[in-house]
Amino acid sequence: MPEHTAAADFAALLRELKDRSGLSYGVLAKRLHMSTSTLHRYCNGDAVPADYAPVERLARLCKAHPEELVELHRRWVLADAVRGRKGAAAAETPPEEAGSGTGPGQEASEAAPPAEAASAGAPLAAPADADTGAGPAPARRRARTAVLAGIAVAAVAAGVALAVGLPGGGSDGDGDGGRHRPVGAAGVTAEGTAPASSSPPSSAAASPSSPAKDTGPARTPAGSAPAGAPSGEGQKSGVPVTVRAEPYAWESPCSQRYLADKPASEMKPPPLEEGAAAWVAAHGAVSSGQQYLRLTVQGTGPETVVVDGLTVRVAGKRAPLAWNDYAMAYPGVGCGGGVQTRAFAVSLDSARPSLTPEPGNEDFPFKVSESDPEVYYLTASVSAYDVDWYLELKWSSGDRSGTLTVDDEGRPFRTSGNKGRPAYEFPIGGDGWVPEGTTKLE
């Protein structure tokens, strides 16, 4: 879908909701904690939000119906995907024209002294006058090639040394458990396209008290071609569907709580939904009582892909965490949430947890394509255990079929019961957390 069309369709629905609400841009921006100019750009189609959370909060403030929420998310997915493709194309460096003596980056390459190439482990280029049968220009090109090769060798060597020296093959060693990676993106293993390992995500990797390591199955990005596939064959030989998981979405602030192994004096104030992932990572927190997931499933091409079902897999189950329980809602602030379509619930306390459609919702299968994504909302509840779990999404398209493992960037989702745990809330205008229920409302 052309960029202007996807962004314009998304902005048109935003404007419709805004106009229907009767609220000014200034009032809405203040309630959304964003600038008025930013909200203008979103509604005019000049910019697409990088996260969906502020869009959903805007829609709820404007009293959007459940069907409108689903349609708004669909349009945002399409607009965001087009923007991502445009950004990737802009980041590519144009190749140097063959035979050109003034290609991009030539001056910098030629200006590099031979000592730099030698320190990078590359052979020194022969001077121009040492060449026989060729003029100075070919010699300069060979010198430039040698210098570039030396730089490339040095970069690869540095990358290997860095990867070997860091815990977990890429963690920066500060114990953040990989918090600097994009949180919420789905880790996927594509049946038939991934390496042979098929073990489930490691439950040990989910412990927030130690750096997380990706010890689960090797990941193949959904929709990509296997290594070595000829150009243009990715669509037929790869997975025709992508999955994006947002494990720290909120159904409403009133429903979301987190357990943390820290005293109230060391906890930051409750975040907005779009800051929840960073807040969780900073405190080593775990979803408390229930976890609300938003899954966006989209085809990678025009052909129809059938999503046959989602299966819940338990990777580990232990006694619930004996940590403090922190509520994200400010006391006295009203909370509300519409009933989402494509909504499912699962009890992780069950011996064999399985998804059940919420009342009034249809069950699988569903159909998706590149222009018609689906959004599924999952509420996972638990009271008696601390559970590591993940999902398996089964898909089919024509004579092809497969299974995607959906988790939190190579780690299982983690949800713990909170019964009997010390609970805290953060009063509006207060400067710290207090025991829940002690706040006096005006």
Run of H or E including 287 = strand 286-288
pLDDT, tens digit, 9 for 90 and up, residues 141-156:
444 544 444 554 444 4
Section 73-85 average pLDDT: 82
Residue 132 lies in a domain: no
64 and 199 co-located in one domain: no
- Tracing tokens 């899954």 back to the chain, one arrives at 295
- Tracing tokens 């959304």 back to the chain, one arrives at 32
Q: Strand order in 241-246's β-sheet? A: 241-246, 290-299, 374-381, 343-347, 356-357
76 and 198 co-located in one domain: no
Section 162-168 average pLDDT: 37
Structure confidence at residue 423 (pLDDT) = 96
DSSP sequence for 311-329: EEEEEEEESPP--EEEE-S
Structure confidence at residue 210 (pLDDT) = 37
- For residue 160, what are its two tokens? 């290997």
Packing angle of the helix pair 3-21, 36-44 (nearest 10 deg): 120
80 and 202 co-located in one domain: no
Backbone angles phi, psi at 240, to 5 degrees: -85, 20
CATH number at residue 31: 1.10.260.40
Last residue of a domain, one of 32, 51, 84: 84
Total structural domains within the chain: 2
Start-to-end C-alpha separation, the chain: 52
User: Which 3 state secondary structure label does DSSP give 63?
Assistant: coil
Residue 269 lies in a domain: yes
Return d(Cα 333, Cα 433) in angstroms, integer: 16
Residue 160 lies in a domain: no
Eight-state DSSP code of residue 411: B
- 149 exposure class (CB count in 10 Å sphere: 0-12, 13-18, 19+): middle
Residue 71 lies in a domain: yes
Residue 12 lies in a domain: yes
- Tracing tokens 């997915």 back to the chain, one arrives at 77
Residue 170 lies in a domain: no
Last residue of a domain, one of 38, 56, 84: 84
Residue 177 lies in a domain: no
Structure confidence at residue 375 (pLDDT) = 93
Compute the radius of gyration of the chain from its Cα atoms: 26
Last residue of a domain, one of 49, 84, 119: 84
More confidently predicted of 50 and 113: 50
Packing angle of the helix pair 25-32, 3-21 (nearest 10 deg): 100
- For residue 12, what are its two tokens? 């048109």
- For residue 382, what are its two tokens? 């638990």
Domain containing 12 equals: 3-84
pLDDT, tens digit, 9 for 90 and up, residues 245-273:
999 999 877 789 999 999 999 999 999 88
66 and 208 co-located in one domain: no
66 and 196 co-located in one domain: no
Distances (CA, A) of 276 to 132, 187, 325, 333: 66, 19, 15, 18
Structure confidence at residue 112 (pLDDT) = 39
Return d(Cα 179, Cα 122) in angstroms, integer: 37
Structure confidence at residue 338 (pLDDT) = 52
Return d(Cα 160, Cα 156) in angstroms, integer: 6
- Tracing tokens 């085809």 back to the chain, one arrives at 299
Least Cα distance to 35 among 43, 44, 26 occurs for 26
- 313 exposure class (CB count in 10 Å sphere: 0-12, 13-18, 19+): middle
Distances (CA, A) of 194 to 18, 51, 239, 250, 291: 45, 29, 10, 32, 28
Bridge partners (DSSP) of residue 423 are: 325
Run of H or E including 43 = helix 36-44
63 and 203 co-located in one domain: no
209 and 63 co-located in one domain: no
Least Cα distance to 310 among 198, 192, 405 occurs for 405
Q: Tell me: pLDDT of 134 over 90.
A: no
Average pLDDT, the chain: 72
Counting Cα atoms < 13 Å in the Cβ hemisphere of 323 gives 25
Least Cα distance to 190 among 234, 241, 141 occurs for 241
195 and 68 co-located in one domain: no
Q: Tell me: pLDDT of 157 over 90.
A: no
Beta strands in 300-373 (DSSP E): 305-318, 324-327, 343-347, 356-357, 366-368
Query: Which segment of 16-25, 148-157, 225-234, 384-393 scores lowest on mean pLDDT?
Result: 225-234
Section 174-183 average pLDDT: 35
Distances (CA, A) of 402 to 192, 223, 239: 7, 12, 8
Structure confidence at residue 92 (pLDDT) = 56
Q: Tell me: pLDDT of 106 over 60.
A: no
Return d(Cα 409, Cα 325) in angstroms, integer: 25
78 and 194 co-located in one domain: no
- Tracing tokens 């130690």 back to the chain, one arrives at 210
Residue 297 lies in a domain: yes
